[in-house]
Structure 1
Amino acid sequence: MKILIVDDEQHVREAIKLLIDWEQLGIKEIYEADNGDTAIALLGEIQPEIVITDMRMPNRDGVELLAWMKEQGRKSKSIVISGYDDFHLVRSSMKYGGQDYLLKPIDPEQLMEALQKAKHSWEQEDQARRLDQQRSIEMNQIKPVYRDKLFSTMISEAGSGATVTVPAVLKEEFGLVGVELCQVIILSTGMLEPQISRKFSGNRDLLTFCLINVCNEILKQKNGGFAFRYWNSDHEIIILLWHRLAEWESLLALITEGIMNSIHGRFHYGVGQAQPFPSGLSLSYQAARTALKQRNLLEENSYIHKSEQGFKAGVYSLSIAAYEERFRLAVWSGKEKDIETAVESFLEAARLLPAITQEQIELWRFEYESMLSRWRQDLAAKQEVRASAEPSPGLPLLLLLDEQGRLSLELCRRELMNGLTAFAAMAGVGGNKEHSIMRDIAKYMEQHYNREVTLQDISERFYLSREYISRRFKQEMGENVFDYLGRIRVEKAKLLLQNPNLKIAQIAEMVGYDDDKYFSKVFKKFEGQSPNQYRKL
């Protein structure tokens, strides 16, 4: 705690310093000023908790000093000392926040009492300020979440047919009184470009936070609306417009440019139609959602999708269910060539479609999962391998995008081939060692050694239980799954170690290890020496 003593007489300042046991009071720093002007210069620099000031001084006196402190909002507690028992001075002291008015000569007990009182008062007020500051921080953290919830609830209420009431807090903050029309635009984070997924390492909360900030910065400049996280969907940011609806295209262009500059990626937008506010919120939202679901994934450079432009479900449909018998016969033949022919016949039909929508992809996923689930249930009673009656979770839709974020039928072909050949192996048909599913698993690890590969990943991709993979892989390949993967990674690392410009941590990451110490441990297990020792050979 610091104190500033202001008096034009040096002997008075010295006397005050000698009269008090400052250490007992917890005051460690004592500063002096001989007039109000000097005191003002020090106040800004040292920020003392307590100020003791004389009232009559040359230049700026004590009254003017106290008035300045009050005007500037200084939190310091002030004690006035004076040689004059003057009512005017006492009143001025109280008016400008003086805690006590002491007469010279100064009584030590009175001064100590005044200082204790000032200290106690300052500590109480400081604690209150800290609590207020903490509450303010907490409110600032809660406020965006609260706003998101209120706006999300309005959309839900509009969809349920209930009367929608605009909360007073939103009316006041966003000036929604008198608003008659609104328009919902959905920014979708469901299908991400691969570079965006890598950049944010799967942290969708951080991605959503960044996107909303960019949107609201532009919307605030244009006074056009507000962007928020929609509580009823994990992959949707709502851009709600209520002013300048006719300018939505230029607003989206600015938002797209802002996102590209800050995040370096592109996202898809579903644009709903203008509707009455707030009763039409849900109608506009549903139209925007439909526009996204019915967008043509074959149009690679199209990112803004209006509701009236969508392809209606069923117009250009292609069903996996219609090919189930071909797939089943190919699988039970046990021949990879037959499976490939069946898959290719499906893809040929897919390539002829003028449009492939997200609805179509979701239908394929559902049909594919249902087909394999039925097959597994039929097989479960006949095989040693434990087959689940529940459909496997399958691959996320993201994996149907290539490195440029485009829909890839080649990835679709690969998934179908992996799933069907894996099922053929599980069913025990074919028996050709050259095409053993364990060798396919080994090949998969050789192709993906530089990424995280878990037994669960392999289990889901090849539709086999983890226990079965562990047992059969060691039987056929002579070592367990992770030793095999580790050996591949070490061999790749040995090649990279020949480049002196690459650090060990970089090499570890390039062969699939996040922890370079663990990489060194694995390397030593296979090579009998550390990566650094190997590099020096």
Structure 2
Amino acid sequence: MKALLVDDEPHVREAIRLLADWQRFGIDEVLEASDGEAATELIREQSPAIVITDMRMPRKDGKELLTWISDNAPSSKVLVVSGYDEFELVRHAIRSGGTDYILKPVEPDALNEAISRAAAAWCKEEAARSRQISQSIELNRMKPHYTDKLLSDMLAGQADAEELAGKLRQLAASADPPAACRVAVLSLEHCDRELLDKFQSYRQLLVFTLLNISNEVLGHKGAAFRHLGQYGEVVLLYWDGAAPFRTALDQINDGMKMTIGRKLHFGVSEPGSVPEQAGKRYAEASALLWRRNLLPAAGKTDCFIHDGASDYGQLRFPRLAARADKLRLAALSGSREQMAAETEDWLGEMRELPWITPEYVSEWNEEWDWLQKQWELDAAGKPAEAKEEESLEEVSHPLPLDSRGMLDWEQWRAMMVGRLEAASRLLASQPNKDNHIIYDIADYITARYKEELSLQDIASHFFLSREYISRKFKQEFGVTMSDYISRIRMERAKVLLMNGQLRIAQVAEMVGYQDENYFSKVFKKQEGIRPGEYRKQFKPEE
């Protein structure tokens, strides 16, 4: 939770910072602004839960700031700390949603009591907002699922012709289905890590947002749907020949910029007949997206729409296998300086290229996974083992991209050094509990068992392949990672169930389950009885 202090006097901000018991209220970051103008920018960027503001300030004063927050950030709780005991100021604070009005000099007890009330109110409303978001997604998920399935099947050439024609007529609001369309593709894999981390527990919400914006702009001129065969991918069909597709895509990107703070990249096909050429045009759009240039062209502004051919096919990209021995030696050295030097040598070679594609960086990640696996097997003297099933609900290692979706060299450097360090730990680790990396992973899971952890999130954090972690985890602990997380959650749940004041739905949420019924099923599967029956065992006799 974040808080924002707004006052034109630095010593006042410092006093409030020292007097408040932030940790007790779950506030882990305190921001500062010297006036209302600077505060509005911070609120837009950081979305603080609590704003503590003065009333008399230059540029934008407290009254203007309160009005702005009421209109633009109503979820933020506002406390006023002022040296002016004026009825008009107090009334304006109350009308604008302020929760408390504290006079200077500030008393610690009064300040902490006010923060406590504001934090409790924000937490309660945030829980309600999360439930509403989950319910909204759930209610809307089934309705468009049929459309997503039918149009995804169309791309694969497997849709029922009569059903598809009826759906296209409905989407186009026409007596006849569209005869031709262009296809555009966007993907979460082309989003930067900061955006993906922001929506880590709500990836489906991000996709839901992209679909809503796209369909709102397209109207009956086209349709956007979730491609069920490719996780995190949104496909757009556009059949209006009167208006340029690029104009609609620009409008969609403007909406995304306002909503999620980013413009996204689209691969766009040539027109083709529907449904006969839909799959071919989809493949064309996807290829243009994955083969776009991640390096900014000299003298050109950012380009987010990729609808033309390139000279990509003439390029030969360097492969990691060509320098596998050097990379392995750097990892075996255990020296961060040696790993950094090898990374710089590699990046120097890459900087000479005029064109680097997302497709190549993704293959680079896969090649790293392969190298690490070979090094680990060579060190252990073991043959390769069977690969566990992996869910489509996982994105591959995030591409090292900036907020514009272009290559971030510093991020790529950090990723490569991180992978070398992971390989170094892997090659040096011994099969005992004290220094094996898999136990670091177990500790990481234990500390975050309430979060929606995926195998991919853990693989990205430790710079190891999903296959290696999944296989090694099963070897060391005798259970899959999902079963391990479930066991931790159930042990915590059993302790919480002893508290008769907590509802079972609250217990479920506190150990990471948003659905009480699903929690009960998992609990019964593991413990043999339902949570309510388990609780009765500890109820005192009347």
TM-score, reference length from structure 1:
0.50
TM-score, reference length from structure 2:
0.49
Larger radius of gyration: 1
